[in-house]
Amino acid sequence: MQRLLPATLLRRRGLSTDAAPDHSLASSAELAHRLLRRHGADPQRLASALSASGLDPASPRLLDAVLRRCGAASSLALGYFHWCSPSLPSAPLPSSLALLAKCFSRASAAPCPSLLAPLPSHLLSASILSPVLRRLPPPRVLPFALSLLSSRPAHDHPSLFLSLLESLSKTGHVAAAERLVEELQPRLPLSLRHYTALLYGWCRLAKLDEAKHVLARMKAAGVAPDVVVFNTLLAGFVADGRFEDAFELAREMERRDCPPNAVSYTTLMQGLGSKGRVDEVMRVFVEMRRKGCTPDSVTYGTLVTAFCKAGRLSQGYEFLDSMSRDGLRVDPGVYLGFFVAHEKEQQLEECLELMERMRECRCPPDLNIYNVVIRLSCKLGETKQAIALWNETENSGLSPGVDTFAIMVNGLVGQGSLVDACNYFKDMVGRGLFVAPQYGVLKDLLNALVRDEKLELAKDVWGCIASRGCELNVSAWTIWIHALYAKKHVKEACSYCLDMLEAGLMPQPDTFAKLMKGLKKLYNRQIAAEITEKVRLMAEERHVSFKMYKRRGVKDLEEKPKSKRRKGQKRSRGRQTVQGQSGERANLSDSVDDEELSS
């Protein structure tokens, strides 16, 4: 049966996931991309070429497809956006704006202000400007903002000033935001939203004294802070662990006739719960109810998480029942704390019973819960249960992500079910989910296969990765070559090293030294000479001294066993110290008991 393309791949190619693939849309997007690349430097020629191409500028679907095709080329995306914007039947769709923001976030450099100038003022929101400002080095941020303001008519300045201030605060350029305020005062007065943006930026950088100074400036300017401003500062105090200041701020809110709301109390409880101070969490909750503030589902979820983290599951279940009595919606995130606590105690049966209870309450488990239970099943050797849970995940309409695949593959490898692990790994590669952070999964799988003398299966896994067009960097090749070398498959390791060199990648120095050492034992001078010559040429191209490269490889090989021995000795000394301390405590308690008996 032919494998269907995943929805992510369809979306990446500009196709609809709801209907059959629209090949005409994909070809139109490809044509637009070619014209953008060819004439992007000249706006007039680009507009003429696009107009003569027969592309429909009024199609929002084509706009989205072209923006996806442009990827990280933000200047090309803006060029097409400017061309088709006047012809669109209405304002650009939110999906188009989100794709444009994604282009900016993926670009290696920010677009120049002249490219952003033609955009309507209502489109220059914080969601569009934030990824642009994030790409700028700090010295260029303020000139960029001033240049963008100067390119707009005066009636656009107030809204654009607010968007710039919010974007600068979100991206960590709060000092530049303060300088922008100084540049534009008193021409553009500050409102509550301006002060809130500055205060949020300082709190995010954990510079709470500056945030308190913003609050004082608000008071001096006659701008009354609302509950959002106070909650922002409160969250900053909690994140920095300054709970006394947070409680004092809550009391000040009451003095200013702006009493704390559910968000305020929940923020305090989240901070205390993360530190394990469960009794104080309960005191805050009691105070909240006493003041007449009704807890919401987030508040109850925070309480459940805090008590589950502390191992007090019975109280967590009591709050869960309270949510049902109060008619609050219980989402899977609330249940997650129970599953994590049960996993810690290795209670698989309790997890399965809780999943059944969730289904009865019409709150089906989400992917995070399935991840926890699958990991626990594999840890306890219940691989059949793990596979059944996996099938249940897909049957319920959930799409396993990278984390789910990594948990499954690692769990099956740990239990020795290597054939099943290979099948799930190939499925992950086939769905386009094999990315750089998952090289740990690849290492464990390949090492286990080679160690278990399943060389052909290991080659099949590697061939699957290579044939699917996955990005194979030096780390991936090193994992594979070292796995082969570790079990004395030196010739195969050398063969794949030659493939690596053909792909234009230079092996690590210790990899080269290992292979030369193995070939020397096999007296295979021909392969050694071929690898050496190719590495020498590659080193010259990269302006690397080949002698230093060889020396470093030999040194790395000598240092690795030494570092491993040192780590082992440190661990053994640590164990001896712990045992000695426990022995001393036992002797001390025995002597105390003897004294009590004699008295």
Amino acid (1-letter code) at residue 241? G
Q: Rounded to two decimals, what is the model's pTM?
A: 0.70
Q: How far apart are CA 174 and CA 200, in angstroms?
A: 9
Residue 348 located in a structural domain: no
Distance of CA 465 to the CA centre of its chain: 23
Q: How far apart are CA 376 and CA 393, in angstroms?
A: 15
Residue 220 located in a structural domain: no
- Cβ atoms of 493 and 484 within 8 Å: the answer is yes
Q: What angle do CA 527, 500, 3 make, to 5 degrees?
A: 130
Which helix (DSSP H) or strand (DSSP E) does residue 300 occupy? helix 297-309
Domain CATH code at residue 546? 1.25.40
Residue 446's CB is within 10 A of a number of other CB atoms, namely: 23
- Cβ atoms of 330 and 297 within 8 Å: the answer is yes
Nearest CA to 538 out of 470, 474, 444 is that of 474
Residue 475's CB is within 10 A of a number of other CB atoms, namely: 13
- Cβ atoms of 374 and 404 within 8 Å: the answer is yes
Distance of CA 533 to the CA centre of its chain: 41
pLDDT at 573: 63
Last residue of a domain, one of 108, 139, 154: 108
524 exposure class (CB count in 10 Å sphere: 0-12, 13-18, 19+): middle
pLDDT at 581: 54
Give yes or no for a cis peptide into 186 (omega within 30° of 0): yes
Q: How far apart are CA 454 and CA 458, in angstroms?
A: 6
Residue with tokens 């992510």: 8
Q: How far apart are CA 247 and CA 239, in angstroms?
A: 13
pLDDT at 583: 55
Q: How far apart are CA 261 and CA 295, in angstroms?
A: 9
pLDDT at 79: 84
Q: How far apart are CA 35 and CA 53, in angstroms?
A: 9
Structural domain for 92, as ranges = 1-108
Roughly what angle, to the nearest 10 degrees, separates helices 138-150 and 174-184?
40
Last residue of a domain, one of 108, 130, 151: 108
Residue 76 located in a structural domain: yes
Sign, CA torsion 421/426/432/437:
positive
Residue 544 exposure: Cα atoms within 13 Å on the Cβ side: 17
Residue 490 located in a structural domain: yes
Paired tokens of 547: 């002698």
Paired tokens of 366: 């989400």
DSSP code for 241? T
Q: How far apart are CA 432 and CA 3, in angstroms?
A: 12
Residue 308 located in a structural domain: no
- Cβ atoms of 158 and 133 within 8 Å: the answer is no
Residue 405's CB is within 10 A of a number of other CB atoms, namely: 21
Q: What angle do CA 555, 556, 557 make, to 5 degrees?
A: 90
Residue 524 located in a structural domain: yes
Paired tokens of 211: 């945030």
Residue 378 located in a structural domain: no
Give yes or no for a cis peptide into 364 (omega within 30° of 0): no
Residue with tokens 């925070």: 302
Q: How far apart are CA 504 and CA 534, in angstroms?
A: 10
pLDDT at 598: 43
Helix (H, G, I), strand (E, B) or coil at 398: coil
- Cβ atoms of 535 and 507 within 8 Å: the answer is yes
- Cβ atoms of 530 and 501 within 8 Å: the answer is no
Counting the structural domains of the chain, the total is 2
pLDDT at 109: 66
Helix (H, G, I), strand (E, B) or coil at 325: helix
Residue 25 exposure: Cα atoms within 13 Å on the Cβ side: 22
DSSP string, 411-451: HHHHTT-HHHHHHHHHHHHHTT---GGGHHHHHHHHHHHHH
User: Mean pLDDT per segment of 10 residues, for the chain of length 599 residues?
Assistant: 36 38 77 86 85 86 86 81 79 77 71 67 72 78 84 81 88 91 87 92 92 91 92 94 94 91 95 92 94 91 91 90 86 91 93 93 92 95 94 90 92 93 92 76 91 92 85 88 90 91 91 88 83 91 90 86 62 58 50 42
pLDDT at 397: 87
Residue 207 located in a structural domain: no
Q: How far apart are CA 60 and CA 96, in angstroms?
A: 8
- In the chain, the N- to C-terminal Cα span, in Å, equals 84
